[in-house]
Chain A
Amino acid sequence: MAYSDKVLDHYENPRNVGRLDEDDENVGTGMVGAPACGDVMRLQIKVNKDGVIEDAKFKTYGCGSAIASSSLLTEWVKGRTIEDAARIRNTEIAEELGLPPVKIHCSVLAEDAIKAAISDVKKKRGEAVDAE
C-alpha cells in the first residue's frame, strides 16, 4: 500500500518528537495503544495559565500512519486552547493525511491521545474532566 506524500513527509521528518516533564503540573500526558498492531503512542502538551497549549511533543512506536497522525496533531494543537484542541476529530487528521480506510484507526489513536493528555492536565489542575 502506498503512503500519501503527506504521510511520508511526517514519517521522514516527524515534527515535535520528544518528551516533556511528566511531573510538571502544566504538562498533560496521553498514553494510548492499538493492540491489533501493537502501536504505542505518547502525546504530551504544555498548557499555560490561560489554557493555551504552548508546546506539544510525541513519541510513537508504530506504522507510518500512526507516526504521521501524531506528528500532524502536535503541529495542530500548538497555540490552541485545550477546549479547541479537544474538538479536533480524527476524521480531520485522516482527511489531511489522505489515510486509506484500513489506516483510519491510526487517526483515532491520535485523537484518543490528545483527549487523554487534556484530561491528564485538567486532573492535575483539579479541574473537572469531561466524561467520555
Chain B
Amino acid sequence: MPRTFQVDAAELESRYKQLQAAWHPDRFTVADDSKRLQALQKTSLVNDAYVTLKSPLKRAAHLLALQGVDAEEHNQAHFGADFLYRQMILREQLEALGEQEDMAGLDAMKAEVSSETNAALEEFEALYGQGQFSEAKQRYNRLQFLFKLLDEIDAVEENLLDY
C-alpha cells in the first residue's frame, strides 16, 4: 500500500484479509516448526499493521516515527495555549450538557468537535506532505486530545441513553 496518510479503506480490508489468509496458522499445521513459527510471526505483524493503518491516530504516529520523530515526546509550550484553553472549555461544556441531559446539545457539540478533528487531520496530512514534521507532530498531539474528547462525548451520550 502507498505510504500516505490517506488510506483506501476498501483496499486495506482486502489486503488484510489476503495476508491473513496467506499466513493463517491453520495452513501450517503440518509444516515444520520453523514454518509454523514464521506463520505466527507474520500473522501477528499483519494484525499490528492492520490496527495501525486503520486508526488515523496510530497511522499518524507511525508516519512520524518513519521520519524519526517521537510522536509522544512533547513539551507544554508546543500544544499552544489557545488550544488548551479551548480543550478546557469544551470539557466544561461537555460536563454541563451531560448534567442537563441535553442530547441535542451533545449532538451539536459532537458535530463541532468532529469538524475540528477533520480540519486537524487535513492539516496533519498537508504539513506531513510538506515535510514540516514538527508542525505535523503538533497536529498529531492536538488530535490525541480531540479523539479523546469525541470518545468522552460518546460515553456521556451512551450513559444518558441507558438511563
Q: Does B51 have its Cβ within 8 Å of any Cβ on chain A?
A: no
**Which single residue of chain A is at the shortest CB-CB distance from B77?**
A132
Contact across chains for A32 and B144 when beta carbons are under 8 A apart: no
Encoded as 1 (CB less than 8 Å from any A CB) or 0, chain B from 141 to 154 comes to: 11011011100100
Encoded as 1 (CB less than 8 Å from any A CB) or 0, chain B from 67 to 98 comes to: 00000101010010100110110011000000
Q: Give the number of A-B contacts (CB < 8 Å).
A: 39
Asked if A112 meets B76 with Cβ closer than 8 Å, knowing A32-B84, A33-B84, A35-B141, the reply is: yes
If over half of B's interface residues share one DSSP class (helix, strand or loop), that class is named, otherwise mixed; here it is helix
- Most chain B beta carbons < 10 A, residue from A31, A42, A116: A31
In Å, the complex CA distance between A31 and B90 comes to 14
Contact across chains for A31 and B141 when beta carbons are under 8 A apart: no
Number of interface residues of B (CB under 8 A): 19
Contact across chains for A33 and B76 when beta carbons are under 8 A apart: yes
Query: Which residues does A use to contact B, with CB under 8 Å?
Result: 31-33, 35-38, 40, 42, 59, 61, 112, 116
Query: Which residues does B use to contact A, with CB under 8 Å?
Result: 72, 74, 76, 79, 81, 84-85, 87-88, 91-92, 141-142, 144-145, 147-149, 152
